Structure 1
Amino acid sequence: MTTPLRTPTRRLPAGGVHNLRDVGGYPAAGLTTKWGKLFRSDSLHGIDPAGRAELADLGLALVLDLRESDERASAPNALDGVGHRDVHLPVYRDGIGSRGATHTAQTLDLGGIYTWMLSEHGGALTDAVRLIAGSGSEPVLVHCTAGKDRTGLVIALTLAAVGVEDRDIAADYSLSEVMLAGEWVDAMTAVMAARGLPAEIDIAQIVASSPAPLMLATLASLRASHGDVRGYLRAHGMTDTELDDLRACLVG
């Protein structure tokens, strides 16, 4: 019996998950990114049995977890039975609690956080893109806690490297604000507020916002400093062969 083809869908509803979606269908230098190949999400600790079955049906082979070790320990992914390979790649290299926390508190807004991640943690971000490039035809899911910031930069770098236009990358990024609104944002805002952050920090912006102009400015900054996003990835160890592999696996 022939398995019916899945209708391409951007948003993939799953109980206990708020920001799970497919990044297929974006124009990329005359072709499009493949549906059913690369997914992005918030954390998967609360996913329900139907959601796990959905991921298994997608043939999900690799889950790339960008969270720090303490985040994984407090909210381990509930993906038993999916049949995937799990790779833990903490963007901050488990160093956010000491020097990293002090550094980001000085400029704790999304623009400052992204600038810091790209300048101080470009190796980890690039390693994530390299893992996607090496995945061949296997479906890959990238996630962090919200699926908005760390995941947002990895997905943006990936899409830009294969020729997706900035406006489409920014539009994809901005969807997180819509998908996280409500229950998830309310709960995370309460968690952040309980940490006693300085009054001048805009918690709502950090937790809930994913403005397209910020992503456009971030991509423009990388272009100004490295020529283009591929130049940024090369500067952090990615080879031309790996960049070619990324396009081959993601675009068709």
Structure 2
Amino acid sequence: MAMPPGTRWDAYDRQSVSGACVPDVCRISGCCEMSVAFLWAAPAPLVLAPTVGLHSPGGTPCGAGAEPRGTLVPVPFESTQPVVPGDRVHLVPGSHNVRDLGGLRTRSGRTVRTGRVYRSDYPSFLEVDATAIARFGLATVVDLRRGTEAAEECIDWGGRGVAYRRWPLTAGRESSWHARYTSYLTRRPETVVGAVREVMRPAAHTVLFHCAAGKDRTGVLAALLLAVLGVGEDDIVADYLLSAASVEPVIARLVEMEMYAGMLADSSVDEQLPRAEHMHLLLRWLERHGGAEAWLVEHGVPAGELTDFRDVMLER
């Protein structure tokens, strides 16, 4: 089987691997005489490419035209892999868009520290992997979703010893999937400010903030935080575009829930892809208002909190 770097797998039984795998922790069985618990660790879906030499019960090599078929069965998972400081994109089973806010360079040449602030789609990886909270060192989770979304699915953070704060970013009547990003800042700026302050608070670290897909609401918050730290516009946009690889598997997961299925019914994967111009428009809107720091101070963030955030987040 051809597997990309970062993929981990363990062999089981003697049934087979073939077909398409939803990015998750799963057991796949199909045409060949081998099966694996496939611990998915890539931000995009994969069609497994079985190796010639694995044979189906009828004797046809899987790599020689055997008809792919497969079933997915969740299997328990505990990672033995440490979270490596310096890694930005974290390939974890159960989620598709997890990365460190750190690792980028500022316009002045300093580097944003890793291991203190993470961003994510819905962090189901923390349910799948019993060791993840300890490995990431999470102290706080900031949820940017609406109450109806949190009621649909939400991890028992208190039971896991993690502080949970919800600051719902909203674009008003516009769907959060199609809204201009400035709508989050103009509709209810107090929720944006509350989320920013919680993520910046050093005592809350290590902190993870998330929405449903980890792209729009999470992308807006990440842009504000990175701008405060002095990361340049092009680098903020490039970071935002990293979410593109996760869109298809994230949507595949969300549409299994009735609430999201309705929201996404008339939207294609292509329409949900992050576009550079969307983030450029937000950042240039902020510049017309004096920049991210000025906008935050104007809306109630004490300047000292911004300074403290830079002090803990920027390497000297």
- TM-score past 0.5 threshold: yes
Query: How many angstroms apart in 2 are the aligned matches of 1:197 and 1:186?
Result: 10
Note if 1:37 corresponds to 2:116.
Answer: yes
Structure 1 runs of 4+ with >6 Å offset = none
- Alignment match, 1:234: 297
Q: How many residues align?
A: 232
Note if 1:88 corresponds to 2:166.
Answer: yes
1:40-189 matched pairs, under 5 angstroms: 40-45=119-124, 47-50=126-129, 52-77=130-155, 82-92=160-170, 100=172, 103-104=173-174, 110=178, 112-136=179-203, 138-181=205-248, 183-188=249-254
Q: 1:165, CA displacement in angstroms?
A: 0.6
Query: How many angstroms apart in 2 are the aligned matches of 1:196 and 1:164?
Result: 33
Residue 119 of structure 1 aligns with an amino acid whose one-letter code is T
- Bigger Rg, which one: 2
Give the conservation status (yes or no) of the 8 Å contact 1:60–1:140. Answer: yes
Give the conservation status (yes or no) of the 8 Å contact 2:180–2:278. Answer: no
- Alignment match, 1:210: 274
Residue 216 of structure 2 aligns with an amino acid whose one-letter code is D
TM-score when normalising by structure 1? 0.81
Query: How many angstroms apart in 2 are the aligned matches of 1:138 and 1:89?
Result: 17
TM-score when normalising by structure 2? 0.65
Give the conservation status (yes or no) of the 8 Å contact 1:20–1:40. Answer: yes
Residue 176 of structure 1 aligns with an amino acid whose one-letter code is S
Distance 1:250 1:202, change over 3 A: same
Distance 1:45 1:137, change over 3 A: closer
Q: 1:153, CA displacement in angstroms?
A: 0.6
Distance 1:82 1:202, change over 3 A: same
Q: Percent identity?
A: 32
More helix by share: 1
The unaligned stretches of length 5 or more in structure 2 are 1-81
Distance 1:80 1:233, change over 3 A: closer
SS of structure 2 residue aligned to 1:104: coil
Query: How many angstroms apart in 2 are the aligned matches of 1:233 and 1:245?
Result: 14
Higher alpha-carbon deviation: 35-44 or 74-83: 74-83
Q: Deviations over 1:41-68 (max 9, x none)?
A: 0112464442x41231221111111111
Query: How many angstroms apart in 2 are the aligned matches of 1:154 and 1:145?
Result: 14
Give the conservation status (yes or no) of the 8 Å contact 2:126–2:132. Answer: no
Distance 1:34 1:202, change over 3 A: same
Query: How many angstroms apart in 2 are the aligned matches of 1:197 and 1:175?
Result: 21
RCO greater where, 1 or 2, for CA within 8 Å and sep 6 or more? 1
